[in-house]
């Protein structure tokens, strides 16, 4: 049915938004080592820009340190430069074999800033969901106006769409709540 296609497109947008939110949350420095903090940092190597995960192995030997070992040792300085240049407050140490990053513990003020940032990312996700819902709603309305679906089909599809919006908003709230707890845990 035509309405199912419209809802499916909206659902794909909802899924994409929640995945993006998860990715953004994984990049937040919450005082513990996490490969997500550095794996996508771009580095200039061999005349092109590549993420660190494409040129090195990343491991977490201790809860507060990240160990990045490039496959080609000539990339060490480029990796170090890339991490410093991103401006996420991490200080890499090049020991000639690998790059080590020690994650400093978070202060209470920094934790509060991170919670605000989590809330900002959550609100951006909600806005994206509302926009996708509005686009789908408008598409359904256009189908009704063009007499491609009946009034009853339109109401039924709109209710299905709203149910999916409620579900995805619950999921976003759960992700945000979980991340807030994660940030505030010392």
Write the class of the CATH domain 2-26+107-184: mainly alpha
Q: Which CATH architecture has domain 35-102?
A: 2-Layer Sandwich (3.30)
Is residue 174's pLDDT more than 80? yes
Handedness of CA 68, 100, 38, 80 (dihedral sign): negative
Q: Which helix (H) or strand (E) holds 92?
A: strand 92-94
Q: For the segment 35-50, what is each residue's pLDDT rounded down to a tens digit? A: 878 888 889 888 888 8
Q: For the segment 10-36, what is each residue's pLDDT rounded down to a tens digit? A: 999 999 999 999 988 877 766 777 787
Is residue 90's pLDDT more than 90? no
Phi and psi angles of residue 39, each rounded to the nearest 5 degrees, phi first: -60, -30
What is residue 89's predicted lDDT score, i.e. its pLDDT?
Answer: 73
* DSSP conformation class of 44: E
Residue extent(s) of CATH 3.30.1360.40 domains in the chain: 35-102
What is residue 186's predicted lDDT score, i.e. its pLDDT?
Answer: 64
Residue extent(s) of CATH 1.10.132.20 domains in the chain: 2-26+107-184
């Amino acid at each position: 049915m035509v309405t199912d296609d419209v809802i499916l497109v909206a659902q794909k947008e909802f899924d994409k938004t929640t995945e993006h939110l998860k990715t953004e949350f994984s990049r937040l420095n919450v005082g513990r080592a996490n490969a997500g903090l550095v794996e996508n940092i771009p580095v200039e190597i061999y005349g092109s820009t590549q993420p660190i995960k494409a040129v090195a192995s990343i491991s977490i030997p201790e809860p507060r340190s990240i160990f990045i070992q490039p496959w080609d040792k000539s990339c060490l300085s480029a990796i170090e430069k890339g991490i410093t240049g991103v401006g996420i407050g991490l200080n890499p140490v090049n020991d000639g074999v690998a790059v080590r990053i020690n994650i400093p513990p978070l202060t209470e003020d920094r934790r509060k800033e991170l919670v605000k940032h989590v809330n900002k990312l959550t609100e951006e996700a909600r806005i994206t969901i509302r926009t996708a819902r509005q686009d789908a709603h408008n598409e359904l309305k256009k189908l009704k106006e063009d007499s491609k679906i009946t009034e009853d089909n339109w109401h039924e599809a709109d209710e299905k769409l709203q149910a999916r919006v409620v579900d995805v908003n619950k999921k976003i709230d759960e992700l945000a709540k979980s991340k807030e707890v994660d940030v505030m845990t010392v």
